[in-house]
Structure 1
Amino acid sequence: MVIEERELGDAELGTLLDAAYAELVARYGPQGRSQVKPGARYLVAVVDGGAVGCGAVQDADALTGELKRMYVAPAHRGRGIATALLGALEELALAMGHQRLRLATGLRQPEAIALYERCAYVLTEPYGSYVGAPLMRCYAKAL
């Protein structure tokens, strides 16, 4: 597996993002599509020459990055790709100058919750549009 940075216009990244959006909408309805800010940086996990997973880091504030669009194609889950991708995203966040990484996920994504908790993310107060959203859970980790 190789993890590499890709630009938003990349075709394989676009396919992964479309699949991620479709899964979010299937689990939560149209409100599952939160926005990614311009300037977010994307990483793609490549296995046997094909893109199988992605994630992004965007600025939340000067010291905090926000994890977005963490996704691994269903056929490639359970192989450690998400864990490796998350580690690479944490390294990217550090390189961007962040001391902390935050994220939001939902109760209908128990596999994501398990990943983040296994990787030392701690439950934190909801932020932004997630305040008052009963299905959402917010996590953070000092890097």
Structure 2
Amino acid sequence: MEYDVQERSLDDAELAGLLEAAFAELVTRNGREGRTQVKSGARYFVVLDGEDRAVGCGAVQVFGPDTEHAGDGEVKRMYVAPPARGRGYARALLTALENAAREANHPVLRLTTSERQPEAIALYESCGFVRVDPWGKYATEPTTRCYGKPLNPTS
């Protein structure tokens, strides 16, 4: 089934509500707040249900030039509301995020998740993401799982 995925700005009420729910779930699962800063220029998306309500969100941002993965894209804030899970919304959203990263010419799309999120790990691996060495602050967080996926044939 195809779902409508739309780009939204941070001042969008539906997006804001989903981001707050995502942060709350991270606290519940990981015992700490997951509000890492999203860089300016990040592109935010929501996935809509059959009644045009936003039920999931995600963002793509670029790694800065002073980082070890300069120019790569990074998935941030990937989240689907619990009542909407298991219906393909996350897969549709992740596909849209990959497409946005390709449009921005990111050679690799990277992401992080937690070992406490097995459903996220299963989704990412089923979509072709492979486990990679942790980077930056994640290198010292033993429960974090880092993934990457080449997007362009030259990478």
Q: TM-score, normalised by structure 1?
A: 0.96
Per-residue CA deviations over 1:45-75 (Å, capped at 9, x if unaligned) read 0111210001000001453000000000000
Aligned pairs, how many?
143
The answer to whether the 8 Å contact 2:23/2:33 transfers is no
After superposition, the C-alpha distances for 1:13-67 in whole angstroms (9 at most, x for unaligned) are 0000000000001111224332211211001001112100010000014530000
Q: Is the 1:52–1:73 Cα contact (8 Å) retained in structure 2?
A: yes
Aligned to 2:143: 135
Residue deviations 1:92-138 (CA, integer Å, cap 9, x gap): 01111211100010011000000000111000000111011011000
Q: Distance in 1 between matches of 2:76 and 2:114?
A: 13
2: CA distance, partners of 1:85 / 1:34? 21
Letter in 1 for 2:94: L
Q: After alignment, is 86-95 or 25-34 more displaced?
A: 25-34
The correspondence for 1:51, drawn from 43, 51, 54, is: 54
Amino-acid identity (%): 58
In the other structure, the counterpart of 1:20 is 22
Q: Which residue of 2 aligns with 1:29?
A: 31
Structure 1 residue matching 2:140: 3-state secondary structure: coil
- In structure 2, the residue matched to 1:101 is 109
Q: What is the CA distance between 1:142 and its match in structure 2?
A: 0.4
C-alpha RMSD of matched pairs (Å): 1.1
Higher strand proportion (structure 1 or 2): 1
Does the 8 Å contact 1:25/1:33 carry over to 2? no
User: How many angstroms apart in 2 are the aligned matches of 1:137 and 1:7?
Assistant: 28
Conserved 8 A contact 2:18-2:79: yes
Matched position secondary structure for 2:74: strand
